Structure 1
């Protein structure tokens, strides 16, 4: 170790205690400054929240005031409409109950803000409870009045139908006038109405004694009794109405509103003081930062002089950097290995799906081939030694069906073998139309039952490429289109030659993608599927394969309208196609 380096280490070790204390003081000062800023900002940010709650609370108070006015109106209207007034009164009562409860509960409730508001809210609650309690008795007496009114009408009709009463013109007119007076008194119990009703009641009552029939006297007596009960019930109801006037829910609600508005104004004043404090504090911090900047400038000058001494320690630092670089290199290798394992896992899962599709397609022709062979066997056993020409013709037909089914199996297997193309992973001449047909045969199990394929193939020249890799691209895009349509729709595949390039357009009318999804679909590990349904590697590998072939791939999509992928490849591929291993030729499905 050189003498300069020893001096540096000596200075570092000679005063660690003072340096640590200074650093702690600096950290403490910074923490206090940041804490004060956070506190002031929190106090300021509460103001918009309080403003929003303030609007809601004023709306609740206004709703409570309107509900109180409506309830008072319905109390007066209920006695004017005995049949329908009770229902409207009950609705007004429910609205009043809901609004006065909303003032006490919920995030926008007034309870718990301060003692004055709680006292005003409690006083209003007592008034509201007293009003609701009195309203119960009022509703009961109103129902009783409506009942007496209905009984009076029935009794009046019964009396007027009595022949002896109906034959007396004066008595009939007095009874009808008494019924009208009782109805008017039920609506408005004025002194004039009461005086007129008393006169009519006395005349009808005096006429009762002059009736000869017991039935007529009994009916008229029942009517007079009903009128008396109706009048008493109306007088009791009027007393309750006067009690309602003594319950001051309106002034109590105004007092509550005034108390709350004073509370909110105090919050606004407090927030204004905090804003002023924050402005002053910001100016003070700027001045402090200016002083710190001057101090740092002098410190940097001292560090520049010390930097010459620290240059002798560069060799040690370079060793540390080399060690860190080696560690990062190992970590990068591990990451690449894990990525390869993810890709391999996805390929194995896709291989299982592909094999299942192939097995499904093979079972269909094998089924009727086996059935036809069984029929031939049974027919041969029943014919014995003689075979006529018609039977021989039937055997020919059956054997032709068997041969057709076996040819289908052979064609499918050859398509699968032609699709993987392990022996042709390097650049060769390739017919894109044939490759697309091969991909359609491989994924036929996913395309039937509702998915139609429209082929618009142009005459294309053979291009120089890695056939297995392009087969992987087409199968991936076709399967993505099928999955986007959820088992029903149309896939349009169009090929064309554009100058020195060929294009393959694969369009579906499925669910489509938004702009944000289109911007990320070619990124590794990006997927819109649920966890465990896809790794997000399929389209990224498709993009890599097209790029390795010197081509481009673009996408156009709209939510609900479908998606179109356009692959453009050069006819004479000048780009170097990446070598792949047989494992890389396995198709990635469902990305």
Structure 2
């Protein structure tokens, strides 16, 4: 166990620490905000090249859609001029227009979702384009029928012109050829003059056909007139669809879409310009701030230089001050050691005071019967005079043996006291723990009284390297504490054993025990559970220090009402740490 004081921080130190922490947090926050603003402005500026690239692509898409629209309008007009190849070119133009108008609202460069105005313009254009594509499907179908009727008319005309009856009538042949020419011209470009002329020529051909006697020729002429009427009808339907195409203003819708997009892009450019201006102003502000910081730093460095010069001037004085302070601290340390020795000596004197009565009792008992026996011998010798028989001599021997036994007890007790209290703390010797425990038991025999039983469970132990008197103090203290905890009645069990490279001494009592709070503080200096004036609270603290100096440990297990057990564990070979060998440190520890 290790008990160390944890000095509390003063309010001033705590205040400075909190102030420094708050200042550091504010600096970190300010730097983070500055960096975040720079990153944000740079990101807004770096987005501009991307928007510029997309702008070029979007303008190209709008231009492609406009060209596809113009090409489609041209192919719608050209398709009726080239009935055989016009349909194919019209389909190609239709596909290009469909792809171009779809590209405006799809992909990363699409115009969809940029803003509400753009979405409205794009939706209007897509509706116009959808109507145009739907009408174009009907137009293609009618154009195919016109081409078919034109082909049938041409075949019918050739058949009529090759008929012998028609070749015999020069006027009829001339009218049929004029009818074919006007019908062909009408299919390409209808006009009121063509229509009136076709009607007149058709009437003349019909009258001439009725005058023919050849039924085949008459039927061929009638078939030709029917194909001409079908051709005119298909051409009129196609012309009405062309008028509907003119009403679909995809070009105007596309121009509105382009204007809305250019307005949107101009807004982006204005925003980017504002961000660039903001970044420029912010950069200037940062430069000014850095300039102010540089000025402050220069001023601080100047102050530091001045302080450094002052420190150099006072350096010699500092050495003198340090020497004086060192001497003062050394003197204070010596005073502290002396006071510690005096305090320990006070503990020793208090403990020895408690032992005096018991030791005196133990010495007086054998001295009493030794003195009595000596008196009896003296009286017997005086009464007998010169007559001393063998029986008397035998009685004298017994009495003298008792005297010798009592004097041996006195000698043994005095020797134990001498061994226990000798000044040998600085000497590391081989020591028998079992013998040391027996010595402690003899010293505190009076403390144990008649109601305390001691049970010894000794194992064969190797002699350990230690300071014997210090360990005697440990055992005496623990045994006396056990006797005091039982209030003069109970059992003390002392067990020794060897565990690996260590030896253990367990001292268990059947006393009142301790609670958890008491166990946590028993090794602290000046902690005691006794009343004021009954104990100093240094006993177990010094026990702990002695065992720690021997490289050992001490553990305690206790429970209220169930007794206490101290287990001392010591290495067989240890280096004893002894700071002082003065008599003041040679302490007999009695009582916690």
TM-score computed with the length of structure 2 as normaliser: 0.49
Q: Work out which of the two has the higher radius of gyration on C-alpha atoms and give 1 or 2.
A: 2
TM-score computed with the length of structure 1 as normaliser: 0.49
